[in-house]
Structure formats: C-alpha cells, structure tokens
Amino acid sequence: MARIIAGVTSSHVPAIGAAIDNHRESEPYWQRVFRGFERSKEWMAKAKPDVCIVIYNDHASAFSVEMIPTFALGTAAEFPIADEGWGPRPVPPVKGHPQLAAHIAQSVILDEFDLTLCNKMEVDHGLTVPLNLMFGTPKEWPCPVIPLAVNVVMYPPPTGHRCFMLGNAIKKAVESYPEDLKVVIFGTGGMSHQISGQRAGLINSKFDHAFLDNLTKNPQKLARMPHMEYMREAGAEGVEMVMWLIMRGALDDKVDEVYRFYTVPASNTAVGHIILENRVKGAKKPAAKPAGKGKKPAPKLKRAAARAKVDRIRS
C-alpha cells in the first residue's frame, strides 16, 4: 500500500530560483535563506520518497486568462520546464508518475472533486523552486513528481475548506494504491506578501507564525479562514497559503513537526517552511524512567527532551 509519510511547505519565490541559477547562494542577502534549507535537504535525503506530489500555482505558463482550471492534475510521464520570459530554468525536466496520478484522478473525481487532467503541461518556478530547496541542484530529480496546479491567481480561488478536503481525498487515494510507495506531499507559495498596489511590500510576521502554529496543531481553524482575512492580514498574494491546506489535509490529524524555518524578506516575500511527519502506526514511545519519589527531572534533562521533541528554527 502507498502511504504519505510527510508534508512539506515552502515559499516558491522566483528570485530564489534566479539566485540558484546564477550561483548567488553564498551572497550575504541570500545566505540566511539557503542555510535555512540545509537541514531540510538532509531530511529529504534520509526520507528518500518514491514519489512527491507538489501542490503549486501556475504563473501564466501552462494556463492563461483564456483557461483557468481550479485544480489541474499532471498525469503525464514528463513535464518540460516553462520559459517564463528569459528561457527555461536550467533544471532537469520533471518526470511524472502516470500510474499513481491516474489512480489519484479516478479516486478524487469519484469523491466528487472535479479535476482538470493534464497529459501535457509545462511547469514553472512555482514547482521547480521548492524542488531545488528540498533536493538541491541534481542532474536529475531523484524521484517522480505529480504536479497539482491550483488557481490562486484569478478570482475566485478555492476556499481553504475545499483545499483541506481535497487533501483528505488525496490521502484516501494514495492509501488505496496497491504499490508500496513512500510519498511526500508539498504545499507551496506564500507566506505574507503583496507585489502591487498601495500595500506592495507588506509582510505580516505575526500572522505567518500563527499560521505555522495552526498548520501543525489546528488546521481546521485555518480551513475556516475566509479569503478576505488572507488578503487583509497577509496581502493580496497571501491567499496562496490555501495550497498548504491541501498538504495538511493529506496528512494524519496528529503529526510531528520536525523542522521549521522562517525569514524575511526574500525579494518582497516572507519565506516560510515546515516539515510535518505522520506518526508511524503502532509505534510506542518508550516509557520515561521515574525521576525518583518527590524529585523533579533535572532542568538540563528537561531541556534536552524538549529539543529532541521538535527542532524549530526561527529567524
């Protein structure tokens, strides 16, 4: 049986891709961003997923105002890199997993989610930048990728609740696939940012941190958040974070937050990143040894246990 082992969220700022392509990662401005993903790449190398599902939004590369699917699932064997105006990014083409993608399409559509199926589709920085941040710059991506493009560009975008429930349906679909596959699902975009208008440059770190907290512990609260709250608190483009709820809906109710990173700004955007792992079914935590009657655990031991439980990076 296939299973989703973890979810990853990442901003997909195009300037991050440009910094990678032009070998500027070590420059002072970019160092803090790329250092924040060093441990993420180590985690991904250990996780070794067989397939990644990447939730992202297209930036007028595969789609345009002439055709705007709300949810578009890539079912092709390969997805070329889009030319976004200055030539395709120098990254490998994305290999798909048509068999699992077709299975997800059938299961999700029969669960009454209307998907657009794309047997031919170019992918842009919305998908390739998060792959770079998690896998580095390999000659070939280490596993197949199933793209799921979500409309968060033209009104009306899907609600957070609809996205969360789609994640539930994807979880059900993956778990009914007979082949033994480890799957990691990405939610991309965000965090708070606005690229035009009177509030151009807006960043709301308080909102972003609260969103990350709730993503781990109370995603149902986020699923109830209306579009206007995203726009008011996180800027016009902050609505991209509904795509993170697809990722979260595809995980178990209770997850372990194993890593978090946040920094501002990258270009004009707050960069947020989190890794959530599903708990291994049937695994039991070892019983704590008694500290002795009337004695409390030593402060150093308590601090060590807290650090072992979760590793958070905030900058």
Q: Which residues contact residue 95 at a Cβ distance below 8 angstroms, ignoring those fewer than 6 apart? A: 77, 78, 79, 140, 141, 144, 145
Out of 59, 193, 209, 273, which one is annotated catalytic?
Answer: 193
Out of 12, 103, 125, 273, which one is annotated catalytic?
Answer: 125
Residue 12 annotated among the catalytic residues of the structure: no
CA distance 312 to 188: 19
Structure tokens at 206: 């308080």
Residue 193 annotated among the catalytic residues of the structure: yes
Where in the sequence numbering do the catalytic residues fall? 125, 193
